[in-house]
Structure 1
Amino acid sequence: MKINIIGTSGSGKSTLARRIAAELAIPYIEMDRLYWRPNWQGTEDDALWSRLENTLAATEDWVLDGNYNRTRPVKWRNVDLVVWVDYGFARTLYQAVSRAFRRAWHKQELWPGTGNCESFRRSFFSRESIIIWTIKTWRSNRERYEADMRNPQYDHIRFVRITRRQDAETLIASLKAQYEKGFAFPVSGNPNVN
């Protein structure tokens, strides 16, 4: 089973992705870890695509956490399920602010070997602020993902839209039951399955 978890920064996609990967006992892959290099330097698109392709090809099943819309030709080529974490704006912003505060307070390295840590200045007082990014992209991401779900180019993909915590719990239970039976689909019991 190949699953991509998408959503605006702060929506909780990483938490959900890790949980699904743990419940299904399949690899968790974080797009940010593939993209970010030391000193907050990003990876050029060609190198990112190559790194992503090699990482996804290395295992039969995976849960991929991340948007990086320009990588869709690679990540959605063979994906079975795309889960869109679409909580309301207030909740998403609150989660983004809380996470930024915790990361800055603890000075935790975000991706091993990069040395990249959030700081209060970077999170709250700079143009690179993840909080500003969340505010700027929440609406446009919703429009993009709604269009993706209707796009005939992605008819081979099953989309699930998570709008409540209970939707996530229902999805996890359904995926686990289906995976244990050896069947990836259909995912049932979720009112937001399209």
Structure 2
Amino acid sequence: MSRASTKDVLNARRIVIQGVTGAGKSTAARTWAELKNLHVIDYDNDVLWMPASELPWTTYSTEKQRERVCRHMETGAWVMASCGPKVADIVYPETDVIMYLDYSPLVTFTQLFKRTMSRSLRSETCCNGNKESFRLSLLSKDSIFLWWLQTWRERREQARIMETDPNMPLVYRLTHPRQFQALVRYAADLSAD
């Protein structure tokens, strides 16, 4: 459609946060949801991945993903961390603003590396109870770093395409984490008044 203004973002009740792997979509969604009192939908945890206790690193079927995203969207006011292609036709028509974290490759890869190594060292879970490991991250064909390498260019281009697509919601593109932090401070200051 077109670029969103800061006012559009501040007034939005249904936001999707998009960006390349490692941009910090989940963290941004939790931060914004807490600030604006919105329900958080973490696409990886709530829609895409089956619980690790059932089938480790296995995604739900398309039908199940669509069912799960609809259930989460029933809250009416939400911020969603990422949105996959199997549910985009359900989510985007209900979305007020897409906040696109269009950060540089250096920023996203650095964040991804730190996050993945930290999770591996601490045996922290992600993606609905799954665990990253050094072997999976560094020595596997399913490496998150290999995924980043294969997808970052296309995903960054997606932000520019979305901004010009008349069928898309308004897009608010941020090019550095400092811009998101400034937006959060500005929104917090407005709430305090």
In the superposition, the TM-score normalised over structure 1's length comes to 0.83
Q: Within 5 Å, which residues of 2 pair with 1:23-172?
A: 23-33=35-45, 34-37=47-50, 38=52, 39-57=56-74, 59-112=75-128, 114=129, 116-154=130-168, 157-172=169-184
Segment of structure 1 superposing worse, 172-181 or 28-37: 172-181
Q: What's 1:6 paired with?
A: 18
1:169, CA displacement in angstroms? Answer: 2.5
Using the TM superposition, give the Cα deviation of residue 98 of structure 1 relative to its aligned residue in structure 2, in angstroms. 1.0
Where structure 1 has 5 or more consecutive residues not aligned to the other structure, the ranges are: 182-194
Matches of 1:10 and 1:91, distance apart in 2: 8
Deviations 1:158-187 (A, max 9, x none): 211111233212332455577789xxxxxx
Unaligned runs of 5+ in 2: 1-12
- Sequence identity percentage: 26
CA–CA distance in 1 between the matches of 2:190 and 2:29?
17
Distance 2:192 2:92 in 1: 24
Q: 1:76 aligns to what SS in structure 2?
A: helix
In 2, Cα distance between the equivalents of 1:143 and 1:19? 25
Structure 2 length as normaliser, TM-score?
0.84
Matched residue count: 176
Alignment RMSD: 1.9
Runs (4+) of structure 1 exceeding 3 A deviation are 173-181
1:126 maps to a residue whose letter is S
Partner of 1:187: none
